[in-house]
Structure 1
Amino acid sequence: MKLLLTACLTWAVLYTAESLRCHVCTDATCFNSTSQDCPATSTVCKTVTSVIFTGTSVSGTINKTCSSLLSCATPLGIETEWSVNRGFARESHTQLCCVTDNCNIQTLAIPNPAPNGKQCPGCASSADSLAGTCNATVSCMGAEDSCFSGNTTSNSKDVLQLGCISRNLCSNLAAIESLLGSNPRITCGAPWSAKISAALLAFALTAYKALV
């Protein structure tokens, strides 16, 4: 009897782990997504709407898939926008990860492309990034609420990385590595425009005290 009960419980656990169903597709519209059984290693459904800018080229993709929890850079069940903007290249995503059958059927909105008034130091080109000679200014867009700076590694050489980032990515090393490159040593900070305003305020207060 105990053996039968143990077998039933084991089967139930395995069945539950393997029974998640998600919508699956990858193209510009995902009008024809299909519901599929996920493998045991996939415990969440994911839907992502992505826009990638490289120079003058713009591409948009919708991706619905079975996924692992580790691959989700956003909280479960919460539609979240995240973005990295290096000036010469920008990658932005609206993403939802969820844990019930076919919960990723919806197609999310395109990430906000509007400038948000913040600015950060950045690179004018990938060549400047590789050479470490970046001196441009990047206008932040959408969810990009912080500046970032640091280095990644490419062909055993350090590559300078500067620009705007959404702060919800700053503590996600795996996501930053997939977006910027291997071995990231990235620090996030306040928007540059805010830093400039603070510096001007401090200067004004010092000048005022000197005058009076």
Structure 2
Amino acid sequence: FFAGELLQSVEEKGCASSSCVPLDFSASLGNNQTFGYKHQCCQDELCNKREFQLPQKSSHPNGIKCPACYSVDDISCEPDFLTCTGTETKCVNVIGISGPIFMIFAMGCATETACNLKNISILNNIKLHTYCVEGNGGPRVTSFMSSILTGFFLLKALL
């Protein structure tokens, strides 16, 4: 996991169920927030002792632009446009929920593997939900995500 200019690494190792599914993705969001995630599985004895490496992000523009913003404890934000780089070719909308009061709403560029994540648990049980559109998305993305966020907010209030 890496975030923004400062490299922050959180590594968890242990035994997983037999249904372990590998996943890795990266996203560049508003306010210079940059995230990388990798979940890998192995089968050999003590295989989780090996060193864990995140792939390096590219700084080369790929021609895609996405609306980007980042907000904590608010269900909206004013997006600016972000020039996407490397393999981050999708415009992503992210909702992160932890418990009844903490919420992250973000938009930006992401790898295709970051699209359509449902209830993925990361960093102290933050539940991620994502939705992607083709690159060069416009204002319709913001209004679509506002409706989804309103639904999540109402669902949270009812629970």
User: How does the TM-score come out when normalised to structure 2?
Assistant: 0.59
Aligned partners of 1:95, 1:73: CA distance in 2, in Å? 8
Question: Which has more helix, going by share of residues?
Answer: 1
The higher relative CO (CA closer than 8 Å, separation ≥ 6) is in 2
Aligned partners of 1:150, 1:137: CA distance in 2, in Å? 16
1:62-211 equivalence runs, <5 A: 63=11, 65-69=13-17, 74=22, 81-88=24-31, 89-115=33-59, 116-117=61-62, 118-123=64-69, 125-126=70-71, 130=74, 132-149=76-93, 151=95, 160-175=105-120, 178=122, 182=127, 184=129, 186-192=130-136
Aligned partners of 1:66, 1:104: CA distance in 2, in Å? 7
Mapped contact 1:111–1:142 kept (Cα < 8 A) = no
Mapped contact 1:146–1:190 kept (Cα < 8 A) = yes
- State how many pairs are aligned: 133
CA drift of 1:136 comes to 0.8
Mapped contact 2:94–2:128 kept (Cα < 8 A) = no
Q: What are the Cα deviations for residues 44-101 of structure 1, in whole angstroms up to 9, with x where unaligned?
A: xxxxxx3222xx5x124263511424995526xxxxx411222221211344311111
User: How does the TM-score come out when normalised to structure 1?
Assistant: 0.47
Residues 1:73 and 1:101: Cα distance change in structure 2 (over 3 Å):
same
The percentage of aligned residue pairs carrying the same residue is 17
Aligned partners of 1:160, 1:94: CA distance in 2, in Å? 21
CA drift of 1:137 comes to 1.6
CA drift of 1:156 comes to 6.3
- Give ranges in structure 1 of 5+ residues lacking alignment: 1-49, 76-80, 197-212
What SS does the corresponding residue of 2:119 show, helix, strand or coil? helix
**1:52 matched to which residue of 2?**
3
Residues 1:106 and 1:158: Cα distance change in structure 2 (over 3 Å):
closer
Instruction: Supply the AA of the counterpart residue of 1:136.
Output: D
Structure of greater Rg: 1
Instruction: Supply the AA of the counterpart residue of 2:68.
Output: G
Aligned partners of 1:140, 1:174: CA distance in 2, in Å? 25
91-100 or 105-114: bigger deviation: 105-114
Residues 1:158 and 1:143: Cα distance change in structure 2 (over 3 Å):
same
CA RMSD of aligned residues (A): 3.7
- Give ranges in structure 2 of 5+ residues lacking alignment: 139-159
CA drift of 1:121 comes to 0.7
1:15-54 equivalence runs, <5 A: 50-53=1-4
